[in-house]
Amino acid sequence: MTTIDSRFGQPRTPRRWGKAGVRLTSDEIEAASRERRVAANKERIRDEQALQRARADWAAGRVVPWLITIALDAKKLYGPEVDEQCGVPEPGVDMWEAGTLYPSFEQLCKLAKLTEKSPGFFMSRPGIVGIKPSDTTLRFHMSMDGEKEPVMAFAPEAIAAAVHGDGACPTCWRPR
């Protein structure tokens, strides 16, 4: 492949260097290019599998409201703008955090993108514990007034309404 060197206006071939300034052969360049393509394909496959696992976990009701709160707090995301960016009417995200409204998988993916997490981050897994500041030595350094208990699970009715679309009202738990 030949390109034009912008400094001199002359044709040149791309330079690829090996170890200690040794120029690579065209076979070595092709092998390196092939390795990069293979690595990119493996990463794409891993990402697709992780997304499939996250969707299955979502359908099984394994999203943890406390992890939604942690992700939003870590990025200092608050207010109706978050609801809008997640594609849910206000106060939808607040209801997610309270465990009374289960997000759709698409809304969860929007939340993941907004918080720069993967959808799998929000799923229950071994070792997830809702730790409050009062459970740590932070209790000696800050006020604990008004501290809430971590919400570790969604109401079963909310999960059923979102996953199965059974028509249950997620705010009052009565059929419509």
pTM above 0.75, yes or no: no
CATH hierarchy code of domain 27-163: 1.10.260.40
Asked if the model's pLDDT at residue 89 lies above 90, the reply is: yes
Query: With b meaning 16 or more CB within 10 Å and e meaning fewer, what string describes 53-86?
Result: ebeebbeebbbbbbbbbbbbeeeebeeeebbeeb
- Say what the pLDDT of residue 16 is: 67
The domains of the chain are located at 27-163
pLDDT classification of 19: cutoffs 50, 70, 90: confident
More confident residue, 31 or 5: 31
Asked if the model's pLDDT at residue 26 lies above 90, the reply is: no
CA distances from 164 to 3, 60, 160 (A): 57, 11, 5
Distance CA 74, CA 99 (A): 19
- Say what the pLDDT of residue 54 is: 95
Taking each helix axis from N to C end, the angle separating 105-115 and 26-59, rounded to the nearest 10 degrees, works out to: 130
Comparing C-alpha atoms, which of 61, 58, 66, 112 is closest to residue 85?
112
pLDDT classification of 126: cutoffs 50, 70, 90: confident
* pLDDT mean over 99-116: 95
Distance CA 147, CA 22 (A): 63
Distance CA 14, CA 1 (A): 7
